[in-house]
Amino acid sequence: MIWRRKLLTPAMFLIIVMKVFTGHTLICHPAEYQIGNECCPMCPAGSRVKTDCTEFRSTSCLSCLDGTYVDKPTGRKNCFDCTNCDKGLGLKVKTSCTTTSDAVCERLEGFYCTDQIGNNCVEAQKHRICQPGQYINQKGTAFTDTVCSDCSAGTFSNGTFTSCQSHTQCESNLELIKPGTASTDAECGEKRSNVAVPVTIPCVLLFLLISAGLIYWFYFRKKKMSFREAEKNTSSAILCQPSLENG
């Protein structure tokens, strides 16, 4: 007797708990749902309950509309709305929604998933863009961001390289025109003296020639003018003198 009572007590307790939570002891078959004091057959996946069963007829079901789904037999009166793979959240459709399964989303190209639930990506972010002066240390994947690292001295990358490249060393017949930076290569060019001599010398000569010409012209003109002035003065003196003598 004691043994039996001990065994019964947990079972009794369970029944009491179920009574408290459900209000009655009716337990439906797994393929049925409870409505009032009835057990009704569930509607199959892809459909919903239109009207509950009665004593006289079975449950009537309606197929889910486009954009809605139910993925398992149900006693629900509404289908679920399909998940929207929002571009604004960095997502695109991986598997389209059907009436029996929700859509599955994945990250857009160039994004990585920051919030994954099971097979479904809920939110994604754009891969980091490496700045000029940095190289792509680790390329971004579906689940990790890009890792950028700075170039070391004497090397450069415009942000798209997977490693920094050494600055070009100008060959002996060339000259450094622009030193390299972390984001740009060095620039080499023809040695300036090679270009300067044939261009500068004729320029200087031409300048000197023109200057000399101008100076000569000014000087000559001035001399000529002062000569004329002197001539004028003498002639007026000659003209004046007789009148003075006559007077």
Ligand X SMILES: *[C@@H]1O[C@H](CO)[C@@H](O)[C@H](O)[C@H]1NC(C)=O
Interface residues toward ligand X, by CB under 6 A? 158-160
Closest CA to 123 of 136, 133, 131, 114: 114
Task: Give CA torsion, residues 173, 178, 179, 183, to 10 deg.
Answer: -130
Task: Give the span between the Cα atoms of 8 and 95, in whole angstroms.
Answer: 51
Q: How far is the CB of 132 from ligand X (least distance, A)?
A: 7
Residues whose CB is less than 8 angstroms from the CB of residue 28 and which lie 6 or more positions away in sequence, other chains included: 34, 39
Vertex 141: Cα angle to 136 and 146 (nearest 5): 30
Given the complex with ligand X, which of 139 and 192 has the nearer CB atom?
139
User: By C-beta, is 44 or 159 nearer to ligand X?
Assistant: 159
Listed in sequence order, the residues at least 6 apart from 79 whose beta carbon sits closer than 8 Å to its beta carbon are 47, 48, 64, 65, 68, 69, 70, 99
Q: Rounded to the nearest whole angstrom, what is the least distance from the CB of residue 91 to ligand X in the complex?
A: 27
- The residue number with the shortest CB distance to ligand X is 158
Specify the residue, 100 or 158, whose C-beta has the smaller distance to ligand X. Answer: 158
SS3 of residue 212 by DSSP: helix
CB of 161 to ligand X, least distance (A): 7
Distance CA 105, CA 127 (A): 18
Between 112 and 156, CB nearer to ligand X: 156
- The single-letter DSSP state of residue 90 is T
**114 or 158, CB closer to ligand X?**
158
> In terms of CB distance, is 96 or 160 closer to ligand X?
160
